[in-house]
Amino acid sequence: MSAPHPLRLAAPAAFVLTLLTCPADAAQPAVDLGSVLPAWSALPFVGILLSIALFPLLSPRFWHHHYPEVAAFWTLALAVPFVAAYGRPAVGEILHMAIADYVPFIILIGTLFTIGGGILVRGTLRGSPIVNTTIMVIGTVLASWIGTTGAAVLLIRPLLRANRERRYTAHTVVFFIFLVANIGGTLTPLGDPPLFLGFLHGVPFFWPLSLWKEMLLVALLTLAAYVAVDAYHWRREDPSVRAPRTAPREPLRVEGRHNFLFLAGVLVAVFVSGIWHAGGVSILGVHQEIQNLLRDAFLLLMAAGSWLTTARRTREENEYTWGPIREVAILFAGIFATIIPPLLMLRAGEHGALAPAVRAVHSPAAFFWVTGGVSSFLDNAPTYLTFLSTALGRLFPGVPEREAILRLISEQGAYLQAIATGAVFMGANTYIGNAPNFMVKSIAEEAGVEMPSFFGYIARYTLPFLVPIFLLVTWVFFE
C-alpha cells in the first residue's frame, strides 16, 4: 500500500492542527455564533452530505479512490473562512466537536466493527422461509446491541449461503437491509450512529429503549410482509430446491464467540459512562467528563483485545479490512467539521439565519417525516443531529444543549421520539440512507444476487412496504 496522498489526510488534519496550535482558552466562545453566522455557512455541510449520497451512484470508481480529497475540500471550505472570520470562538467550536463528538464516535464505530469482524458464523443452512425469517429475527434483535453494521456483517454471508440454490433471493436481501441494517438498531445508543450521537449530546443511555413500541410495530409488520413475500417466492422455486435436503449438512457453529464478551464490555462501558459522574478535565479548553475518557480508553482496550485474540483466518473469511474504519474516520471528520454552523444556527432558533427552517417543522409528525425523508437520502447520523438542533431551537432556544435535551424529553418527548425513529427507520428507504445498506448490496452482488437498481429498490420495496407502515406509525404515535 503506497503512502497516503497529503490531501487524503487533510480532513482529520484540520482537527489535529487546531489541537496543536490553539491556546488553552480558545474554547471559550465570546459571541453567540449561532445568531451571527450566515445561512450560506451551511453549504459545506450540504456539499459533503450530497457528495456521500451522489458520488457512489454517479461515479463509484472516482469516489472510491478520491473520497478523502472530496472530504478535505469541504472541510477546508468550512474551516478556513470560519476560523478566519470568527477566530478563537470558531476554533473553540471545532475543538469541542472534535473532542466531545468526533473522537468518541470514531472510537465506538471502530471498536464495534473490529469486534464484530471477529465473529464468523459457519454451517450449512437451507434458505427456506422459516430459516430466513429466523435469521431476520436474530439480526433484528442483535442490531440494537452490536450495531446495525455489526449485525449486518455477522449475518449477511450466512444468509446468502443459505439461499445460494434459490433463484429468487433479492427480496430477502432487501428485507435484511430493512430489518437488520436499520429498524433493528433502535433500542440502544450502540444500535445506530444517530442514537450514539444523541447519547454523546446528553440523551440518557436507556432513553432509546422507550422506543420499543414503535420498533415492535414496525419490525413485526415488516417481518410479516417479508414472510408473505418469501413464501410467495418459495412456491415459485424449482421443486428440487424446495425438496428436503438429503446431503450431510455442516453443523452450525460460531467462530470467535469470545468476542461477544468484548461486546458486552463495550455495552457496559457506554452504559456506565452515562450514569457515573467522575468529574471533569479541560483538554485544550474543552471540558470533557472523566468517565467519557475512561470509556473511550476501555473501548480501545476491547478493540485491541479482540484484535489480538481472534484468529486471523476468521477475519480473512469475514473479508475484514481497516477500510470501513478509515472511511468513517475521514468522512465523519468532514461531516463533524461542516455541521458546526448549521447546528449553531438551528439552536439559535428565531435568532439564527435558519429561522425559517426552524419554523417550518412544527409537530412531531412533521419531524418524523422530514427527518426521515432527509435521512432516506443523506446519512442519518448528521441528519438526526440537525433536526434535534432544529427542535431544540424551536422549543428551547438559547438553553444550554444538555439541559434543553433533558427538558425536551420530559416536556415534549414526542419530538425526540419522532426524530429518532424517523432517522433510524427511514435510513432503510434507499441504499444511501444508512451506511450498511450499500455494503450489504455490494456483498450480495458479489455473491451472485442481482439487486434492484436505486430506483427499483424504492419503487418495488420502499413504497409498497415501508411507506404504508410509516404512515401507520405516524397515525398511532405522532398524531
Partner 1 sequence: MSVWYEITVRGTEDALRGLVAACEAAHGGKEAVVFGHDLDLEAGTLPQRLLELFAAGSHHLVFAPAALAEEVVAALRSRGREAGLELETVREVVRARVPFSAEAFSRDVAEKLRQKLVMGLPPGVEGENLEETEAQDPSARGAELYTPEHAYVYRIVGTFVGPLPGIIEMQRRARNLPFVKVKALELQTRPLETPERA
Give, as ranges, the residues between 445 and 464 that touch partner 1 (CB under 8 A).
445-450
Task: Give the one residue of 136, 435, 466, 469 binding partner 1; rule: CB under 8 A.
Answer: 435
CB of 50 to partner 1, least distance (A): 13
* 443 lies in the binding site for partner 1 (CB under 8 A): yes
Task: Give the one residue of 5, 64, 245, 362 binding partner 1; rule: CB under 8 A.
Answer: 64
CB of 326 to partner 1, least distance (A): 10
DSSP lists the bridge partners of residue 287 as 282
Q: Which stretch binds partner 1 (CB under 8 A): 119-127, 134-142, 199-207, 440-448?
A: 440-448
* 61 lies in the binding site for partner 1 (CB under 8 A): yes
Q: Which stretch binds partner 1 (CB under 8 A): 54-62, 266-274, 349-357, 359-367?
A: 54-62
Judge whether 33 and 90 are in contact, CB under 8 Å. yes
Size of the chain in residues: 479
Query: What are 463's three cell numbers?
Result: 413504497
Task: Give the one residue of 6, 23, 38, 60 binding partner 1; rule: CB under 8 A.
Answer: 60
* 149 lies in the binding site for partner 1 (CB under 8 A): yes
Q: Is 294 exposed, middle or buried (0-12, 13-18, 19+ CB in 10 A)?
A: middle
CB of 263 to partner 1, least distance (A): 18
CA atoms within 13 A on the CB side of 274: 21
Q: Which stretch binds partner 1 (CB under 8 A): 53-61, 135-143, 364-372, 471-479?
A: 53-61
Q: Which stretch binds partner 1 (CB under 8 A): 288-296, 357-365, 369-377, 439-447?
A: 439-447
* 56 lies in the binding site for partner 1 (CB under 8 A): yes
| Beta-strand relationship, 286-289 and 280-283 | antiparallel
* 300 lies in the binding site for partner 1 (CB under 8 A): no
Amino acid identity of 468? P
CB of 321 to partner 1, least distance (A): 4
* 441 lies in the binding site for partner 1 (CB under 8 A): yes
In the complex with partner 1, the residue whose CB is nearer, 320 or 465, is: 320
* 165 lies in the binding site for partner 1 (CB under 8 A): no
In the complex with partner 1, the residue whose CB is nearer, 21 or 321, is: 321
* 65 lies in the binding site for partner 1 (CB under 8 A): yes
Q: At what angle do helices 129-146 and 148-162 cross, to 10 degrees?
A: 160
In the complex with partner 1, the residue whose CB is nearer, 254 or 447, is: 447
* 234 lies in the binding site for partner 1 (CB under 8 A): no
In the complex with partner 1, the residue whose CB is nearer, 153 or 391, is: 153
Task: Give the one residue of 337, 380, 436, 466 binding partner 1; rule: CB under 8 A.
Answer: 436
Q: What is the largest CA-CA distance in the chain?
A: 75
CB of 323 to partner 1, least distance (A): 6
Residue 333: phi and psi, rounded to 5, are: -60, -45
In the complex with partner 1, the residue whose CB is nearer, 159 or 416, is: 159
CB of 167 to partner 1, least distance (A): 9
Number of chain residues interacting with partner 1 (CB under 8 A)? 31
In the complex with partner 1, the residue whose CB is nearer, 74 or 478, is: 74
x/- mask, partner 1, residues 315-354, rule CB under 8 A, reads ----xxx-xx--xx--x-----------------------
In the complex with partner 1, the residue whose CB is nearer, 324 or 352, is: 324
Alpha carbons 376 and 433: distance in angstroms, whole number: 4
CB of 230 to partner 1, least distance (A): 18
CB of 475 to partner 1, least distance (A): 34
CB of 468 to partner 1, least distance (A): 29
SS (H, E, C) the chain: CCCCCHHHHHHHHHHHHHHHHCCHHHHCCCCCHHHHCCHHHHHHHHHHHHHHHHHHHHCHHHHHHHHHHHHHHHHHHHHHHHHHHHCHHHHHHHHHHHHHHHHHHHHHHHHHHHHHCCCEEECCCCCCHHHHHHHHHHHHHHHHHHCHHHHHHHHHHHHHHHCCCCCCCHHHHHHHHHHCCCHHHHCCCCCCHHHHHHHHCCCCCCHHHHHHHHHHHHHHHHHHHHHHHHHHHHHHCCHHHHCCCCCCCCCCEEECCCHHHHHHHHHHHHHHHHHCCCCEEEECCEEEEHHHHHHHHHHHHHHHHHHHHCCHHHHHHCCCCCHHHHHHHHHHHHHHHHCHHHHHHHHCHHHCCCHHHHHHCCCHHHHHHHHHHHHHHCCHHHHHHHHHHHHHHHHCCCCCHHHHHHHHHHHCHHHHHHHHHHHHHHHHCCCCCCHHHHHHHHHHHHCCCCCCCHHHHHHHHHHHHHHHHHHHHHHHHHC
Q: Which stretch binds partner 1 (CB under 8 A): 40-48, 251-259, 296-304, 435-443?
A: 435-443
CB of 460 to partner 1, least distance (A): 16
Give the footprint of partner 1 on this chain (CB under 8 A). Answer: 52, 56, 60-61, 63-65, 67, 149, 153, 319-321, 323-324, 327-328, 331, 435-436, 438-439, 441-443, 445-450
